[in-house]
Amino acid sequence: MISSSELDELLRIAKEKLESKKGMLPKKDVETWDKRARESFYRTMTEVLRERYGMDESKAKNYIYVERFNPFPGEKGGKLFNSYLYPDAIMKSDDGQKIAVELDNGASGSRIKNALAKASILKLVGDFNKIVVFFFTYPTGALDKFRLAEKEQRVLKFYQENLSTWLILI
């Protein structure tokens, strides 16, 4: 039902929806930001699949796997230096393409660098066609701070072309 060519469009739609929900993630309750972000991503993707394909949640679980909500059956990421690597989420198409999704946040460029480096390792040791990092910038409005100049564009191009890793700033 979902082809690999449609996964990029689903990620684009998810970005728009996650931007509108961004303000809900920083709330300090019992759960950590990571848990709230994973739940938000899972709910967003099941909503997108319902709107676009008429899928109920039980069917959507065949295409979107999120740590602690709908675990991926089998090998998730690989092992490096005797340590397992797991993405926050995995999106899958009917023709076998798998995209690893990392969710991260912060207010500094060093956080973005670390998120990209960590995510790209999934491409090197995992069985993924593509890696996507949704990076939530805080405080709200801080996105302007991460101006992507020539150097940053060159680095992002390297990640895309050599490590199949994309950065999506939110």
Q: What would you measure as the largest C-alpha separation in the chain, in angstroms? A: 44
% of the chain exceeding 90 in pLDDT: 50
Q: Chain-wide mean pLDDT for the chain?
A: 86
CA distances from 158 to 32, 87, 114, 152 (A): 32, 21, 15, 10
* pLDDT tens figures, 33-66: 788 899 899 999 999 999 999 999 999 999 999 9
Burial 26-47 (b: 16+ CB within 10 A, else e): eeeeeeebeebbbebbbebbbe
* pLDDT tens figures, 85-115: 889 999 999 998 999 999 998 877 888 999 9
